């Protein structure tokens, strides 16, 4: 059973939940000046890419906030479609230095605006708590807070397993996985990678692609269930005498 966090419940209607996402580049402040400048440029390009590719699912665009930290706000209805792809895109676009990502579910206390820098509330409190836990525990691949204790554990567990699998891929396996993740057919992937269809099958099997795809589907379903459960909890609380 989901236990709704009191910080999320207070002054929050079920239809006013959001998912805050906070990212931070690991160790970027220790980079040499020239390299850090290159990373800052790459991070700015990443913000543009996220805002373009995920525009339909965003309530407030991603922006760089403090140094190498960035934030955005996702519509709760789009979370299960957006969050896994968002994490994948961040890792793909900026693999070095790697990014920690904190994801928090909750309400917004300030008036809802497109400018994420003026927004605050439980969704962001949970996301900051999540990214703090990710830094403390050296977790990559996404850290979740505010979805309910049981669901946080499930979402974080799946995130760890999927990230562990992604980081074990060879370059060829990763290139194939990126194509398949975008919906490219294996025959088309073979042409794109200039290898045989048999080689694609071998790469996919070595990467454990079928297992990964099934695990990511479970991750999306778990996100749907967790948000649905919190919505039900809030509805029950708001209806209570």
Contact, 21 vs 57, CB < 8 A?
no
Predicted TM-score (pTM) of this structure: 0.87
Distance from CA of residue 164 to its chain's centroid?
A: 15
pLDDT of 58 strictly over 70:
yes
Residue 15's pLDDT is what? Answer: 57
- pLDDT-above-90 percentage for the chain: 73
Residue 33's pLDDT is what? Answer: 72
* Interval 158-203: pLDDT, tens: 999 999 999 999 999 999 999 999 899 999 999 999 999 999 999 9
The verdict on residue 238 lying in a domain is no
Residue 118 neighbours by CB distance under 10 Å: 10
Tally of structural domains, the chain:
1
* Interval 203-213: pLDDT, tens: 999 999 999 99
pLDDT of 235 strictly over 50:
no
Residue 239's pLDDT is what? Answer: 42
The verdict on residue 237 lying in a domain is no
DSSP the chain: -----HHHHTT--GGG-EEEEEEEETTGGGS-HHHHHHHHHHHHHHHHHHHHHTGGGEEEEEEE-STTEEEEEEEGGGHHHHHHHHHHHHHHH--SS-EEEEEEEE---SPP-S-GGG--SHHHHHHHHHHHHHHHHT--S-EEESS-HHHHHHHHHHHHHHHHHHHT--HHHHHHHHHHHTT--HHHHHHHHT--HHHHHHHHHHHTHHHHHHHHHHHHHHHHHHHHHHHHHHHHHHH--
Residue 164's pLDDT is what? Answer: 95
**Spatial distance between the Cα atoms of 143 and 218, rounded to a whole number of angstroms:** 16
The verdict on residue 136 lying in a domain is yes
* Interval 15-47: pLDDT, tens: 579 999 999 998 777 777 777 788 888 899 999
The verdict on residue 189 lying in a domain is no
Beta bridge mates, 149:
none
CATH number of the CATH domain containing 66 = 3.30.70.270
Residue 241's pLDDT is what? Answer: 43
Residue 233's pLDDT is what? Answer: 53
Determine the structural domain holding residue 144 and report its residue range: 6-163
φ, ψ (nearest 5 deg) of residue 22: -125, 130
pLDDT of 7 strictly over 80:
no
pLDDT of 229 strictly over 90:
no
* Interval 135-169: pLDDT, tens: 999 999 999 999 999 999 999 999 999 999 999 99
* Interval 126-140: pLDDT, tens: 999 999 999 999 999
The verdict on residue 240 lying in a domain is no
Residue 38's pLDDT is what? Answer: 85
Residue 13's pLDDT is what? Answer: 54
Residue 4's pLDDT is what? Answer: 45
> Mean pLDDT of all residues in the chain?
87
């Amino acid at each position: 059973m989901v236990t709704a966090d009191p910080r999320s419940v207070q002054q929050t209607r079920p239809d006013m939940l959001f998912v805050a996402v906070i990212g931070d580049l690991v160790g970027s402040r220790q980079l040499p000046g020239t390299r850090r400048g290159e990373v800052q440029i790459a991070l700015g390009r990443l913000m543009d890419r996220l805002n373009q590719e995920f525009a339909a699912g965003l309530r407030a665009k991603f922006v760089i906030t403090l140094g190498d930290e960035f934030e955005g706000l996702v519509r709760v209805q789009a979370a299960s479609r957006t969050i896994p792809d968002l994490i994948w895109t961040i890792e793909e676009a900026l693999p070095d230095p790697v990014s920690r990502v904190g994801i928090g579910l909750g309400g917004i206390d300030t008036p809802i605006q497109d400018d994420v820098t003026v927004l605050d509330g439980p969704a962001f409190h949970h996301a900051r708590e999540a990214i703090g836990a990710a830094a403390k525990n050296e977790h990559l691949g996404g850290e979740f807070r505010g979805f309910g204790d049981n669901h946080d554990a499930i979402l974080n567990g799946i995130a760890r397993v999927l990230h562990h699998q992604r980081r074990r891929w060879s370059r060829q396996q990763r290139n194939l996985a990126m194509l398949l993740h975008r919906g490219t057919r294996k025959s088309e992937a073979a042409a794109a990678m200039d290898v045989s269809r048999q080689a694609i099958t071998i790469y996919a099997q070595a990467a454990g692609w079928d297992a990964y795809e099934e695990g990511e589907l479970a991750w999306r379903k778990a996100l749907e269930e967790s948000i649905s459960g919190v919505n039900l909890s809030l509805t029950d609380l708001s209806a209570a005498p």
